[in-house]
Structure 1
């Protein structure tokens, strides 16, 4: 039988934060005038976080055998939660709003605290869904900046497939991450006409190439190569064979040069001879 006394252990380690005798790390948090210096212990930081292990490996000791580094892109309040999590394995969120917790989740990701990031992600989805919906576009865009936030990405996509205008018609659409766009257009349950998906993907691709003429007839060979490279991971997810003949002629044909020749041949062949088998298939 194993008896676990984790609460006492946690409290003992938290007491180390107030120990002024044995620390060998100094961390300066925040930016002037809002800064605070924290004292810590290298052994705990190294074994609790690969982020701090790597960081400390590249810092030299001063004459007093102390290593010092700055963390400017984090608030004092955020780091107080992080350092208590490192030492005591505790997290107190009661007095913090959803915006604070959302930013803390990204800090946990940066510091490679996967367990903490996962907990905060779940907390936001289960307890702060109203706030997530209120700032949906921003939440959506940022969630896809970190591949660890799979549950939040799925939560967002489950909303977008039902209400695609939230992203596809938003002002921030052109700044959508490629992985976010692909995660949407690859969904079979996306409630959006395929021709509109095609048009928005094309517009997104043009937006990623500043200076590219909007009219494809004015594209140089370099323009074509750039556009083809930009959309190489998106185009395979378009369901060309679900479009009408009219949609293909009006919307796809002007950009046929960015498609693989065998795909374009199959598209034309399918509309001329609908019963004939095609060689290319969407992903």
Structure 2
């Protein structure tokens, strides 16, 4: 059964789509197209080249544009996911949201099987808010998946918004010092010019570069939930990237846990997952 959309499409133009006589646009689909941009020829005809689009996908998109109708019957999840990417490229917001929800509600098993790919793609574009939320909810529910991603080669190429959306969560089941270590690992990878010998050999410029790269991540670390030994071993070597007042407050709490401080104390996360 097909879905109909008319909220943002005022008229049904399917009859015009079937008219093979009167047209002023030629669309080339697939790898055989040589051109890579839109151009007009001498007869005021417009040619659009969609090199990475299949004929079947485009047929669904064009019928949606002309008639507000879409049918996903007998289409597998991989095809629908590619269609989602294409709909977003065409700036079809309503269709994009529909396809996201369809994948989540009807194809969740496929999403789980291809989680790393879905996670990466969904955070490459902030339009996929529903998929982003589904991914983070999945990671919180199955925290072992977090380590599969964070310990993989893919982690250092993770989009900042993906990392941020996860470390902001109060229900992230991960020890806070591990959150810190992963954030540092990610930040260092974004600055390939940093000396690989470690922070003990860094200059003030090196620390500043890391601080700038991590400026959005650092406020979401629960510093006051980290054991003293971990602070000394893992955070103190990088204290330069923290605000001076924050580091002073961390030291105050180490010497006297009841001492008043001015820094914001974020609540502890849920108990870490134990395998």
Q: Give TM-score, length-normalised by structure 2.
A: 0.86
Match of 1:216 in 2: 199
Q: Does 1:243 align with 2:226?
A: yes
How far the C-alpha of 1:203 sits from its partner, in A, is 0.6
Question: What is the deviation of 1:25?
Answer: 1.2
Which 10-residue stretch deviates more, 169-178 or 148-157? 169-178
Matched, 1:74 2:53: yes
- Greater RCO, CA 8 A, separation 6+: 2
Q: C-alpha distance in 1, partners of 2:12/2:122? A: 36
Give, in angstroms, the shift of residue 242 of structure 1: 0.1
Determine the C-alpha separation between the residues in 2 that align with 1:116 and 1:94.
16
For residues 185 and 221 of structure 2, the distance between their equivalents in structure 1, rounded to whole angstroms, comes to 14
User: Which structure 1 segments of 5+ residues have no match?
Assistant: 1-5, 37-54
- 2:258 — aligned with what? 275
Q: Which moved more, 1:133-142 or 1:217-226?
A: 217-226
Q: Is the 8 A contact 2:60 2:70 kept in 1?
A: yes
Pairing 1:245-260 to 2, within 5 Å after superposition: 245-260=228-243
Q: Is the 8 A contact 1:174 1:204 kept in 2?
A: yes
* SS of residue matched to 1:112: coil
The two structures have a TM-score, normalised by structure 1, of 0.83
Question: What is the number of equivalent residue pairs in this alignment?
Answer: 253
How far 1:23 sits from its partner (Å)? Answer: 0.9
Displacement, 1:71? Answer: 1.7
Equivalent residues in 2 for 1:1-283, closer than 5 Å: 13-32=13-32, 59-60=39-40, 62-162=41-141, 163=143, 164-214=146-196, 215-281=198-264
Taking only aligned residues, the RMSD between alpha carbons, in angstroms, comes to: 2.2
Provide the rounded CA distance (Å) in 2 between the counterparts of 1:91 and 1:147: 24
Larger mean CA deviation between 217-226 and 261-270 belongs to 217-226
Three-state SS of the structure 2 residue aligned to 1:69 is strand
SS in structure 2 at match of 1:31: coil
Q: 1:15 to 1:230 in 2, by over 3 A?
A: same
- In the alignment, structure 2 segments of 5+ residues that lack a partner are 1-5, 267-275
